[in-house]
Structure 1
Amino acid sequence: MYNQVESIKLRGGKIMRTTKLLPGLVAFAAAMGMGIAANACTTVLVGKDASTDGSTLASRNEDVDTSWAKHFIVHQATSNGPTQYVSKDNNFTVNLPAQAQRYTSTPDWQQIDGQNQFGEDGINSSNVAMSGTESGTTNSKALKADPFVKDGLAETSILDVVLPYITSAKEGVQYLGHIIETKGSAENNGVIFSDKNDIWYMEIGSGHQWAAVRVPDDMYAVIPNQNMIGKLKLSDSSNYLASPGITNFVKSHKLNGYKNGTVDFALAFGTNSKSDATYNRPRVWDGQRILTPSKKQSITTKRFSMFMKPDHKIGVRQIEKVLSSHFTGTKYDSNGKWVGGYRPINVPTDVESHILQIRNNVPNDIAAVQWLAMASPATSAYIPFYTNIKDTPAQYKLGTDQPDAKSAYWTYKMTRILTDPYKDVLISKDVTPIKEVVNHQLDMNLENSDNHAVHLNGDDLVNYLTEQNQMNADYAQTQFQLLNQKLIQDASRLTKIVQNKDL
């Protein structure tokens, strides 16, 4: 009944035009007690001293639609001279440097006139990672003072016009900041930059105003679709950066958050509404209760600390637990009869989840790993992809909004779909055991390939890493294809049992 009805569609908080709205998305929005136009995505950041192996870890769930394939591609380095980039989405225009580094990305399956859209996350040849964006909402007073720019930089283009041209996380903030100041932003966005030493989280609060904070090495952050950066200590440029004149801007426009010459960015530009109380803050509560269970907090807390110390060191599997959570094990569990109407981290509209790891315990040529889980991280596997490669696995360059038997996205999406009718039974009985086996094997494969790769260099190394990525992709997908066959059988048996009981 929703076909060919012009509607709006979730995209990290952005309102997009489309001619199709899936019933599952409508049902999800209704269950959440919200309109269709809503924010999405959840971010988890882990400083190097808070991680299990000294890596920096920057991660995010990308939430879009209930059936919207993502691809995984690599763009090779180029030196074609000055290039003018023009977004086919909103006509944003910017001149780009002559030299562009190799970088990876996970664009939408759908292009506009051959141009990739929503690159979202990747790592470049300087081992700088970027993830964009964590969508936010600007309060009306700040928006009136500095409106968004219709043809300004949007999430559609943000990765492709920044990541190929930066050599450190901090430089990423400064580079993007200059674009926002001169060209303007089309949206409120949170953007992550990381390298082997630092993670910076940047928030674009209005058309030309932004701020960024460095994640403390011994802490982590869980960030929903709400501005989280608090008091700006702009005299400490090693840990805080912001658009020029931001203090005078906030003061002169009488925005919230100004006091004694300092600015609280979240108060000045963000929101803290009833919607945030059900849609955003509960996700911070859920992530912090998982990583710091010793800290007892209420889900109704009005403002959570942006940075927390974990009770134990955090690795890829702990981040996976957070990004897969639906208030798991609490009375708010959205897989059961939950209360409060709180929006969980893991939702049906997950299209991909990434963990961008820059390691400090291996050579630079193999230090960057882009862990990628297609569709829902709760019913998928994070595949460790090296980014010093010449190509990506074949099945990660396939898939549309229509089901198929070959693409990585639709293999993992089918696992989610097949478990939906009997989540509590099938996930614990079928999915979790396979995930544990696959995760263990992938971890062993990464360790073994690291040990072999240290003896290689140049093209031999790039070719080997590319082959290892394909091997891991094939292995995991085969295991999940077999799992899906078992899920069909088990779901059918459960349906028969339920029907017999009803009779």
Structure 2
Amino acid sequence: MRKFVLAAGALGLAAAFTAAPVKACTTVVVGKKATTDGSTLIARNEDVGAWSKHFYVHQATSDGKTTYVSEDNGFKTSLPKTALRYTSTPDGEQENGQWIFGESGINGDNVAMSATESGTSNKKALKADKLVKNGISEASMLDVILPYIHSAKEGVQRLGQIVEKQGSAENNGVIFSDKNEIWYMEIGSGHTWAAVRVPDNKYAVIPNQMVIGKLNLKDSKNYMASSNLVKKVKAWSQNKKIKLAGYEKGTVNYAKAFGTNDKTDAIYNRPRMWDGQRILTPSKKQSISKKSYTLFLKPDKKVSPAKVGQVLSSHFTGTKYSSYGKWKGGYRPINVPTDVESHILQIRNNVPKEIAGIQWLAMASPATSVYLPFYTNVTDTPSQYRVDGDYQDPTNSKSAYWTYKTTAMVVEAYKHKKFIDSATGKKTDLIYKDVNPAKKAVTKQLKANLAQSDKVAKTLTGDKLTAYLTEQNQKNADYAQGKWQTMNKSLIVHSNKLAPVTKSTLTFNK
């Protein structure tokens, strides 16, 4: 996610982060043999805090614009006339009529893309190969890549060509998937990149840190990199003014050459890998203070979209490091108050291709929101996800974003407040009393709705199918938002009754 400066108090981070740009987002990828139904899953929390989000579908065209100029930084590139249909989750405000920061989506060929996971490159790497001010950036990346690719690997190749020729304005991690495979790509400097294929039977949880290690570029099925990368890194390592690390016996360790692994990473990045691996592979006992973690691991049990959602919702939940509890160590959690949306992009292999792409979308914080399963073969997205100008009107009851953001803001304000529930006589909080029961009930119904609509969809084709899928998305959006608006009213009433727990008072009434 984009880089921005934010006071530590707003994130609940250690004071050391107040003077530096904050890098945000957490990525989760799961290979098809590690999932419950053979799907590929790529997912990410988009963390920035100050923006509202939309959800759009851009229809296919054979006569599209052939030149793209970013309103964000002036990046300019040529485009093919023919573009596939694709979904995106852009910011709630346009720049001179252009939607920017598209972030995530699935195209008409069931190729998914999530961009980006902000990274940090070391000073030596950026001295060797400087970033390009008007190079490709997160703001424009999805819109100039996703409509024009037909496989995950092709996504890496198209983006890689642009980085090499026109440069990158940022250090980023980017994910691509199709029904067969997932590729994770890192842009480490102005013109260099590397990518690795995610093993089918494994997963990864990736923070804002370069994690691609030793490259085996002879294995083109599993590794890719920018042209002459090994030769360049070797030359930079021998340059007395640069002395770049990472060159190893004819190959490159990309993370060592371009990334960081310092005291900041020990607080801000590595603990998130620990937390995600704790949830998905609990049998592997590890310390939160390890200097490095294995990138790809096998999960103890097959992983569902719901399990990925649990990872992305975690704030070291259930541990002494929880930012909703004692918060020992002050480590940066996966789930933070600055989440603006969280997506899980699922390409299914057990249904017809026309309904294979599901964009699970949770607006605002996934810990206080709910993932809705949106079909991507549609003519339009639900109306509440297209409310114009909602950033200017956060009280707009029609906006899906502000409905779910309201929940996050109320819970965040009272996250350390414990009270006694008069119904049980036990200590509880707003999350466990109001949010989690709503999430459980709504998720159960949405899962049932998806199973039912899949059955009906298999009997339809063409325009009737897309119309039906569009209608089902709207119904699910209406249902979930309605439940959340009701829950928000209860949440606000309950929050006003909170007071410190005493032996003689019950501060919560059902």
Relative to the length of structure 2, the TM-score reads 0.92
Query: Which structure 1 segments of 5+ residues have no match?
Result: 1-11
Letter of the structure 2 residue corresponding to residue 70 of structure 1: K
Cα distance in structure 2, aligned partners of 1:113 and 1:279 = 35
Letter of the structure 2 residue corresponding to residue 57 of structure 1: L
Letter of the structure 2 residue corresponding to residue 315 of structure 1: S
Equivalent in the alignment of 1:351: 340
The 8 Å contact of residues 127 and 367 in structure 1, kept in 2 or not, is answered as yes
State how 1:396-411 maps to structure 2 within 5 Å.
Answer: 396-398=385-387, 399-400=390-391, 402-403=393-394, 404-411=396-403
Choose from 223, 228, 246 the match for 1:240. 223
State how 1:247-266 maps to structure 2 within 5 Å.
Answer: 247-254=230-237, 255-266=244-255
Are residues 1:211 and 2:177 paired?
no
The 8 Å contact of residues 4 and 23 in structure 2, kept in 1 or not, is answered as no
The 8 Å contact of residues 88 and 113 in structure 1, kept in 2 or not, is answered as yes
Are residues 1:288 and 2:277 paired?
yes
Cα distance in structure 1, aligned partners of 2:499 and 2:86 = 46
The 8 Å contact of residues 13 and 331 in structure 2, kept in 1 or not, is answered as no
Relative to the length of structure 1, the TM-score reads 0.93
Cα distance in structure 2, aligned partners of 1:305 and 1:464 = 44
The 8 Å contact of residues 32 and 343 in structure 1, kept in 2 or not, is answered as no
Inter-CA distance 317–32: structure 2 relative to 1 (3 Å threshold)? farther
The 8 Å contact of residues 32 and 342 in structure 1, kept in 2 or not, is answered as no
Structure 1 segments, 4+ long, off by >6 Å, are: none
Choose from 413, 420, 435 the match for 2:412. 420
Cα distance in structure 1, aligned partners of 2:293 and 2:501 = 45
The 8 Å contact of residues 68 and 401 in structure 1, kept in 2 or not, is answered as no
Cα distance in structure 2, aligned partners of 1:148 and 1:161 = 19
Equivalent in the alignment of 1:371: 360
State how 1:75-474 maps to structure 2 within 5 Å.
Answer: 75-80=58-63, 83-254=66-237, 255-398=244-387, 399-400=390-391, 402-403=393-394, 404-423=396-415, 425-474=429-478
Cα distance in structure 2, aligned partners of 1:297 and 1:29 = 24
The 8 Å contact of residues 100 and 165 in structure 1, kept in 2 or not, is answered as yes
Equivalent in the alignment of 1:9: none
The 8 Å contact of residues 346 and 359 in structure 2, kept in 1 or not, is answered as yes
What do residues 268-310 of structure 1 show as CA deviations (whole Å, max 9, x unaligned)?
0000111001000000000000000000111111111110000
CA shift at 1:28, angstroms? Answer: 2.3
Choose from 460, 463, 475 the match for 2:479. 475
CA shift at 1:27, angstroms? Answer: 3.3
CA shift at 1:81, angstroms? Answer: 5.4
Q: How many residue pairs are counted as aligned between the two chains?
A: 484
The 8 Å contact of residues 13 and 136 in structure 1, kept in 2 or not, is answered as no
Cα distance in structure 1, aligned partners of 2:432 and 2:34 = 30
Q: Greater shift after overlay, 299-308 or 415-424?
A: 415-424
What do residues 300-340 of structure 1 show as CA deviations (whole Å, max 9, x unaligned)?
11111110000000001111110000001111011012111
Are residues 1:46 and 2:50 paired?
no
Cα distance in structure 1, aligned partners of 2:444 and 2:15 = 35
Q: How big is the alpha-carbon RMSD for the aligned residues of Structure 1 and Structure 2? A: 1.8
Letter of the structure 2 residue corresponding to residue 338 of structure 1: W
Q: Share of identical aligned residues, percent?
A: 63
Letter of the structure 2 residue corresponding to residue 443 of structure 1: K
Cα distance in structure 1, aligned partners of 2:48 and 2:476 = 26
Q: SS of the residue aligned with 1:253?
A: helix
Letter of the structure 1 residue corresponding to residue 391 of structure 2: T
What do residues 47-94 of structure 1 show as CA deviations (whole Å, max 9, x unaligned)?
0000000000000000011x4210000000112256110111111110
The 8 Å contact of residues 70 and 76 in structure 2, kept in 1 or not, is answered as yes
Cα distance in structure 2, aligned partners of 1:453 and 1:31 = 50
Inter-CA distance 30–231: structure 2 relative to 1 (3 Å threshold)? closer
Cα distance in structure 2, aligned partners of 1:116 and 1:330 = 40
CA shift at 1:379, angstroms? Answer: 0.5
Inter-CA distance 81–430: structure 2 relative to 1 (3 Å threshold)? closer
Choose from 477, 489, 495 the match for 1:491. 495
Q: SS of the residue aligned with 2:126?
A: helix
The 8 Å contact of residues 177 and 183 in structure 2, kept in 1 or not, is answered as yes
The 8 Å contact of residues 344 and 359 in structure 2, kept in 1 or not, is answered as yes
Letter of the structure 2 residue corresponding to residue 53 of structure 1: D
